[in-house]
Amino acid sequence: MKLSGKVALVTGAGRGIGQAIALTFAEEGADVAVNALHLSSAEDTVKEIRKLGKRAIAIEADVAEVDDVDRMVDRALDELGKIDILVNNAGDRSENVPTVEQSIEKFDRTLSTHLRGTYLCCRRVGRWMISQKGGRILNISSVAGITGFPMRTAYGAAKAGIIHLTKVLAVEWAKHNINVNCVAPGYILTPRIEAGVEEGKFDLELIIRRTPLGRLGEPDDIARAALFLVSDDAKYITGVTLPVDGGWLAYGYWGQ
């Protein structure tokens, strides 16, 4: 097992990508602190982890709030004893609207949850990892943080900020034996995407045609990449952003 004896804190792990990461880590031997904005969804993931024979706790917290983050990390340390791995996955359902029509409140909320939340969790857990002389941090960005997606002003800016934050922390904390990396998912078949399809915001046929591998990603595709980057297999890798997008970013041909 790649994570035997490790403890991971995974934010936004009530469903979708975060849940897949939490379960994959547990399958590989880790105990997991499961965070979600709503306790019930975190508890659902915890039940599945415990079926695998690993320790798990559910923590309700808004990662954009300093007090919530402090309380979340303190509880994880108190009940599980340590945090070897931090995965910053928490996010909100951002608007897909023309920039001139976007509400300032929603713009601020999107940046707060994604970028501020990632920063606050890195800052708090980073203090503990520095004191312990090591750790692994994985941030979840998006291909929207690498290339321009129309009408995704807040989301794209937040995800681009996460990529740069990853580089800064990787360089700053390397001397403390802390690896900081990032995954940039493409279109992944999560409940959020499924809801977007039902609302007419996403055209699955167009997305699949635009993706060289010819399918949407699954949460497990991201979880496997995450496992690699937090394991000893990647111990000499830090500061990178790994696209997991079926070739989306590589594709530049618009013919038939």
Mean pLDDT by 10 residues, the chain (256 residues): 98 97 98 97 98 98 98 98 98 84 93 98 98 98 95 94 98 98 95 77 87 96 98 98 97 72
Residue 100 corresponds to which tokens in the numbers above?
């001139």
Closest CA to 216 of 143, 166, 160, 138: 143
Which pLDDT belongs to residue 85?
99
Which pLDDT belongs to residue 202?
75
Strands 178-185 and 56-60: unpaired
Residue 44 backbone class (left: φ over 0; alpha: ψ -120 to 50; beta: rest):
alpha
Q: Listing from the earlier edge strand, what are the strands of the sheet with 241-244?
A: 56-60, 31-36, 7-10, 85-88, 135-140, 178-185, 241-244
Q: d(Cα 48, Cα 4) in Å, to the nearest integer?
A: 18
Catalytic residue chosen out of the listed positions 155, 236, 251, 253: 155
CATH number of 7-188+219-244: 3.40.50.720
Residue 146 corresponds to which tokens in the numbers above?
């690498």
Q: Active-site residue 155, yes or no?
A: yes
Closest CA to 41 of 70, 16, 74, 67: 16
pTM of the model: 0.96
Type of residue found at 233: D
Specify whether the CB–CB gap between 59 and 42 falls below 8 A: yes
Residue 190 backbone class (left: φ over 0; alpha: ψ -120 to 50; beta: rest):
beta
Q: Please, is 104 exposed, middle or buried when counting C-beta atoms within 10 Å of its C-beta (0-12, 13-18, 19+)? A: exposed
For the chain, the structural domain boundaries read 7-188+219-244
Q: Please, is 142 exposed, middle or buried when counting C-beta atoms within 10 Å of its C-beta (0-12, 13-18, 19+)? A: buried
Element (H, E) at 40: helix 39-51
Q: d(Cα 108, Cα 111) in Å, to the nearest integer?
A: 5
